[in-house]
Amino acid sequence: MAPMWWRGWGDPARAEPLAEPVVELLRQALGVRPTVDGVADLDDVVLPSAALPMEARAALAAAVGEANVRSDRESRIRHTRGKSTVDLLRIRAGDAADAPDAVVSPGSHDEVLRVLGECSARRVAVVPFGGGTSVVGGLAPAPASGDRPRQGYAGVVALDLHRMDRLTSIDPESRIATLEPGLLGPRAEALLREHGYTLGHYPQSYEWASLGGYAATRSSGQASAGYGRFDEMVVAIRLATPRGTLEAGRAPRTSAGPDLRQLVLGSEGALGVITAVTVQVRPAPQAVAYEGWRLTDFNAGLTAVRRLAQDGPLPSVLRLSDEAETAVGLADPARLTAAGGASDGTTGCLLIAGYEGTREQVSARQAGVAAVLEEAGATHLGSEPGERWERGRFAAPYLRDALLDAGAFAETLETATFWSNLPRLYGAVRDALTTALTDLGTPPLVLCHVSHAYASGASLYFTVGSARRDDPVADWKRVKAAASDAIMDAGGTISHHHGVGADHREWFSAEAGPLGVAALCAAKSVLDPAGVLTPGVLLR
């Protein structure tokens, strides 16, 4: 598979411009105008001199092989940051100030251990790199300061795990499989399908995200209603640290003390490098079906989703757009690019339901969901809206790039809370985003959907669009802070599935509390005493 586009999302051959009616709508509704600044070419990117000492590079080459330590210009640029809008704006402007000094690609758990040992001894910072899809600053090391070592580190390496891409074992009787962290979603799924199984984990980043990244960030896929979150699938995990190997998970559940699997899941590389995950797998579905429903308003939709989440039956995919997202037609990003207009004509709130399993399971679950939704006053829209969403469900990041090309600003953020608090959180975050951007002179379009629902609560996923001013990076930092403050004040979590990274660290510290942060720092001091793992991510 070709590497991800260095200045955008995914495969550049799949990028399409916005449809002209959408461009005109952006001009009229949001005041979006084409930008005068061009986008940098690869040769234009300003790259700092590599700071990694020669003896450190030689030690790393001895650990993984000379061919697996790269410090060429293109490799360093391609491993600079993740794919948030701020990341893209900076790289499109030619700014690679925090590029790694080298890219190191181990091929085994033992090679990872050797790399971490060398880097710990030499105080070289290590940033694990899977698919490169972080949107919360999870792939940037401690801030650079010119050509000087970053905050006391002798250098920074990106630990690219793409060579660790094997399905190492499968246990059909237990229905578990062990996979390496560098596997991207589609490849992992293909390997499991050869044995008749599926993971069923499809985040929006699915085509480019890695298994290690799923575990490191507690990823949640679009079919979480049917298959669960990734952290719920993990039954065992292996972690390489500068101090050695930590293995956790020898039974599905245990009461043998605190569950160390939960310490590793969501640790974002701050405690070690995940080198293997053992996960629950399911039989590959015989049948798949998608459909759309219309609810009169968001509150009615939330009530219906809550009834399904609490009392069943649950579809595999359950997604509810608010009125604004429904009106814009964001459930079908393809309509907003070269061939289409801005809406499918659906009013109210669009609910997408998807079903996977045996033919009998799909049929029975569809009938049960229909009974609940009809009682809630929903109107059935047939299979077409759901099938459109399914075809385009991984296209939204490409749409974000098209919006940037047109001169707009577009970004997302997400949170979660309990059902009783969901309306309050929804209103608080929407108002914070609207107020902060309006105060900057760029009134926004704020859209929202629920795509992960539980018996006790649900997630909220916001998409924000506005005109772009002269310094959109500084503007978004201010706006994101206002939204994050609103999340905390309204009782939400700072992240449901994007993770903490560097962007959410301040609010994560408030959510965990001083004692919680101290406990995590104590664990880090044991596993990473030199503090070389992902400095500035998750923990200070």
pLDDT in tens, the chain (540 residues): 678 999 999 999 999 999 898 899 899 999 999 887 789 999 999 999 998 999 999 999 999 999 999 999 999 999 999 999 999 999 999 999 999 999 999 999 999 999 999 999 999 999 999 999 999 999 987 654 444 446 789 999 999 999 999 999 999 999 999 999 999 999 999 999 999 999 999 999 999 999 999 999 999 999 999 999 999 999 999 999 999 999 999 999 999 999 999 999 999 999 999 999 999 999 999 999 999 999 999 999 999 999 999 999 999 999 999 999 999 886 666 666 655 555 556 789 999 999 999 999 999 999 999 999 999 999 999 999 999 999 999 999 999 999 999 999 999 999 999 999 999 999 999 999 999 999 999 999 999 999 999 999 999 999 999 999 999 999 999 999 999 999 999 999 999 999 999 999 999 999 999 999 999 999 999 999 999 999 999 998
Sheet holding 176-179, edge to edge: 167-171, 176-179, 273-280, 234-241, 244-248
CB atoms within 10 A of CB 474: 12
Q: Where on the phi/psi map is residue 213: left (φ > 0), alpha (ψ -120 to 50), or beta?
A: alpha
- Domain extent listing, the chain: 12-160, 287-392
Same fold, 12-160 and 287-392: no
Sheet holding 69-70, edge to edge: 69-70, 102-104, 155-160, 124-129
Q: How far apart are CA 46 and CA 51, in angstroms?
A: 15
Kind of pairing, strands 155-160 and 124-129? Answer: parallel
Per-state percent for the chain, helix, strand, coil, to nearest 5: 40, 20, 40
Q: How far apart are CA 487 and CA 497, in angstroms?
A: 15
**Residues in the chain, how many?**
540
The CATH number that domain 287-392 falls under is: 3.30.70.3450
Q: Taking a C-beta distance cutoff of 8 angstroms, is the pair 121, 154 a contact?
A: no
The type of residue at 124 is V
Q: How far apart are CA 484 and CA 289, in angstroms?
A: 37
- Helices 422-439/298-311 angle, 10° precision: 140
Helix, strand or coil, per DSSP, at residue 448: strand
Q: Give the CA-trace dihedral at 425, 202, 87, 509, to 10 degrees.
A: 50
pTM: 0.95
Q: How far apart are CA 57 and CA 442, in angstroms?
A: 47
- CATH domain 12-160 topology: 3.30.43
The type of residue at 466 is S
State the DSSP H helix or E strand holding residue 216, giving kind and residue range, or none if neither: helix 211-217
